[in-house]
Amino acid sequence: MATVGEQLVQVLRQAGVARVYGVVGDSLNPFVDAIRRTEGLEWIHVRNEEAGAFAAAAEAQLTGRLAVCAGSCGPGNTHLIQGLYDAHRDGVPVLAIASHIPTEQIGTSFFQETHPERLFVECSHYCELVSQASQMPRLARIAIQHALGRGGVSVLVVPGDVLYRAAERPTGDGAPVSVKGTVVPADDQVRQLAERLNSARTVTLFCGAGVRGAHDDVMALAGKLQSPIGHSLRGKEWIQYDNPYEVGMSGLLGYGACYDATHQADLLLLLGTDFPYDSFLPHRHTVQIDHDASRLGRRTPLDLAVHGDVGATLRAVLPLVKQKSDRSFLDDMLRQHARALEGVVDAYTRDIGSHVPIHPEYAASILDELAADDAVFTVDTGMCNVWAARYITPNGRRRVIGSFLHGTMANALPHAIGAQLAYPGRQVISMSGDGGLGMLLGELLTVALHRLPVKIVTFNNSSLGMVKLEMLVSGLPDFETDHASVDYAAIAKAAGIHAVRIEHPKDIRAGLEDALNHPGPALVDLVTDPNALSIPPHITGTQMAGFALAATKVVLSGGVGKMLEMARSNLRNIPGAALLR
C-alpha cells in the first residue's frame, strides 16, 4: 500500500508535473523521499524556498502549466511567501506543498509551529490542511484544479506524520483540466459594443496582458476604427511588435503619445488590462473588455463593461464595426508619438559609447541587439524595469517577465532558474539589479549546482537606484541607498560560474557576446552609473526638489531604443505625409 506522500507524488505526475523546487527537511522528508523514487519527477534544490516559489512562478507563467514548490514546516513555509504572492498576483498556476508539524502537536506552540492554513490565505485561492490519510488523493486534486482553473496559487498543508501514513483510498486516475474554455460575451453586449465603437468619432485602444493571443484581432479592430494603440508594461510584449498603430506606453515608466491618445479620443477601449495607476486614465467615455468580470470598472467608471476574452469579443464584434475613413486622429497621434520619442532620444544617451561609469541604457541597448530572437528576459524590480521597458524589443517570440504586479526585488535570478528548467534549450537572461542579486545571492549556487546556462546580466550601480530616484522626486536627500562596491564577477567565479566584470563601455559588446555564447552559466557584472544621471554633490532642499523633478523627468522619459525606428517607420503609413527627419 502506498503512503500519503507517495499518493501525492502520483497525483502530481498525473498532472504532468516534472519538478518540485524546494529545500528538504524534517516534515517534508517523506514527500521528498517519494520523489526520489519516482521516475519523471525531479527535486530541484534551491538555496531559499522563496527562490523555489519564484522559479515555479516563472515556469507556470511561461508554460501555462502547473508548477510546484515545497517548504518544510515553520521557516521553510514562511520563506515561500514572497514567491507565492508574486505567482498569485500574476494569476499563474502554482501549487505549494507546505509540510507541517506533527498532527498531535498542532496548537501546543510546538517547535517551528505556525498556522500555514492561515498564513497563506491571502496569497492563494485554496489553502487546506490534510489531517487524515483518507483526504488524499481528493484534496490534492482539488488544490491542483483550483490553481489551474482559477489561475493562481493553491497550498496543501500536510503534517509530516500524515505524509508517512498508509493511504486509505486508491489513487485512481484523473488528469486535471488544464485548458480553459473561452469566455464569449453575451450577444447583447456585443451589439452595444459595436454601437459605441461606430458612434464615436475617434477611438483609442489601450492593451494589457489580456491581449495575449489576440494580436491579429486587435490589429483588425484598429484598422477598422483608425485607432491608435497604447499599452501597459504587461501588455507591451503581446502588442507592440508589428503594430502600425503603436503610440507607446502609459504609467510612470511610460513614453510616447499614449497618454494623449487615451485622453483625447472620444472613446477609450480598455482591452484585457487591469492597469492600476488610475491617475493616468481619463475617467470618462471608457469601455472595458475583460475575461474576469470582477475587474470591470475597478479602475475607472465605465460607459460599458463587456465580459469576455479579448480575442473572442473582438472576433464577435468585428463584423458589426463599420470601417472609418477619417484617419486624421490616428495620424496626429503617430506623428506626436514619433516627435515625443525623437525629443528624448538624446536625453540620457550622450557620450554613451565612452562614458564611465557605464550608462545602463547603453548596455541594455546592446543586450537587446545581441539577445536571441526567442530569448526569455527575467527582469528585477528597480531600474531594470525601466531599462527592459525601454530597450528590450518584443517580437512575439521573446518573453519578458518580472514581478510586475507584486513588485518585489530579487525576482529575476530565481525566475530565470524556473525559465531555464522549463526551456533547457532557450536563451534565458536575468537582468539583475545588484540589490536584487544581493538579496537572493545564494541562488548563484543553485545555478551552478544544476549547471543551468542562465545568463545573469547585473546592472551593478552599488545603489538601490530606483529608491534613490524616488527620494529625489519627493525632495528628499538620498539616504542609505548607496553601498560599497561589490565584485559580483569574483563571487560568481568563486561559485564556479563563468564571469566577467566590465567597467568600460568599449568592453560591453564583447563581454555580452562571450557570456551569451558560453555553453554554461555566465554572469556579466556591468559596473554602471550609480547616479542614473549625475547629481551635484551639495545642493539645498529646495534646489534638490526642483532639480530632482527635472532629473527624474530626464531619466524616466529618456531613452527609447529601437522604438524610435518603429515610430518612424509607422509614419510611412500615413498617406502622403512628410517623414520626420
Using CB under 6 A as the criterion, which residues of the chain lie in contact with ligand TPP when the complex forms?
Answer: 380-384, 407-409, 433-436, 459, 461, 463-467
DSSP E strand stretches across 14-57: 19-22, 42-45
End-to-end CA distance of the chain: 77
484: region left, alpha or beta (phi > 0 left; psi from -120 to 50 alpha): beta
Residues 533 and 528: their CA atoms lie apart, in Å, by: 11
3-state secondary structure (DSSP) of residue 69: strand
Nearer to ligand TPP, 126 or 377 (CB): 377
Nearer to ligand TPP, 81 or 270 (CB): 81
User: Which residues, at least 6 apart from 541, have a Cβ–Cβ distance to it below 8 Å?
Assistant: 475, 477
Kindly state the smallest distance separating residue 409's Cβ from ligand TPP, in Å.
4
Kindly state the smallest distance separating residue 315's Cβ from ligand TPP, in Å.
39
Q: Which residue carries 517580437 as its cell?
A: 395
Cα Rg of the chain, angstroms: 25
Q: Where are the alpha helices (DSSP H) in 345-497?
A: 360-370, 383-391, 412-422, 434-439, 443-449, 465-473, 488-494
Q: Are 281 and 255 in contact (CB under 8 A)?
A: no
Kindly state the smallest distance separating residue 353's Cβ from ligand TPP, in Å.
21
Residues 467 and 471: their CA atoms lie apart, in Å, by: 6
Beta bridge mates, 158: 99
Kindly state the smallest distance separating residue 400's Cβ from ligand TPP, in Å.
16
Kindly state the smallest distance separating residue 377's Cβ from ligand TPP, in Å.
15
Helix (H) or strand (E) holding 247: strand 246-249
Q: Using CB atoms, what's the residue nearest to ligand TPP?
A: 433
Kindly state the smallest distance separating residue 182's Cβ from ligand TPP, in Å.
35
| Side-chain half-sphere exposure of 114, counting CA atoms within 13 A | 20
Nearer to ligand TPP, 167 or 400 (CB): 400
Residues 380 and 411: their CA atoms lie apart, in Å, by: 6
Maximum alpha-carbon separation in the chain: 80
Nearer to ligand TPP, 258 or 439 (CB): 439
Kindly state the smallest distance separating residue 413's Cβ from ligand TPP, in Å.
11
Kindly state the smallest distance separating residue 561's Cβ from ligand TPP, in Å.
17
Residues 423 and 417: their CA atoms lie apart, in Å, by: 10
Nearer to ligand TPP, 3 or 411 (CB): 411
User: Which residues, at least 6 apart from 256, have a Cβ–Cβ distance to it below 8 Å?
Assistant: 230, 246, 247, 248, 249, 337, 340, 341, 560, 563, 567
Kindly state the smallest distance separating residue 527's Cβ from ligand TPP, in Å.
12
Nearer to ligand TPP, 482 or 507 (CB): 482
Q: Of 403, 344, 347, 397, which is closest to residue 373 (Cα–Cα)?
A: 397
Nearer to ligand TPP, 237 or 380 (CB): 380
Kindly state the smallest distance separating residue 384's Cβ from ligand TPP, in Å.
6
User: Which residues, at least 6 apart from 261, have a Cβ–Cβ distance to it below 8 Å?
Assistant: 204, 228, 230, 247, 333, 337
Kindly state the smallest distance separating residue 421's Cβ from ligand TPP, in Å.
23
Nearer to ligand TPP, 486 or 539 (CB): 486
Nearer to ligand TPP, 189 or 432 (CB): 432
Nearer to ligand TPP, 137 or 438 (CB): 438
Kindly state the smallest distance separating residue 209's Cβ from ligand TPP, in Å.
20
Residues 523 and 27: their CA atoms lie apart, in Å, by: 36
Beta bridge mates, 249: 231, 255
Nearer to ligand TPP, 73 or 123 (CB): 123
Q: Are 168 and 134 in contact (CB under 8 A)?
A: yes
Nearer to ligand TPP, 239 or 429 (CB): 429
Q: Are 237 and 208 in contact (CB under 8 A)?
A: no
Nearer to ligand TPP, 21 or 404 (CB): 404
Nearer to ligand TPP, 184 or 467 (CB): 467
3-state secondary structure (DSSP) of residue 78: helix
Kindly state the smallest distance separating residue 444's Cβ from ligand TPP, in Å.
15
Nearer to ligand TPP, 148 or 384 (CB): 384
Residues 85 and 403: their CA atoms lie apart, in Å, by: 10
* Omega within 30 of 0 (cis) for the link into 137: yes
Q: What DSSP state is assigned to residue 135?
A: G
Q: Of 486, 479, 380, 469, which is closest to residue 430 (Cα–Cα)?
A: 380
Kindly state the smallest distance separating residue 380's Cβ from ligand TPP, in Å.
5
Kindly state the smallest distance separating residue 531's Cβ from ligand TPP, in Å.
11
Total number of residues shown for the chain:
581
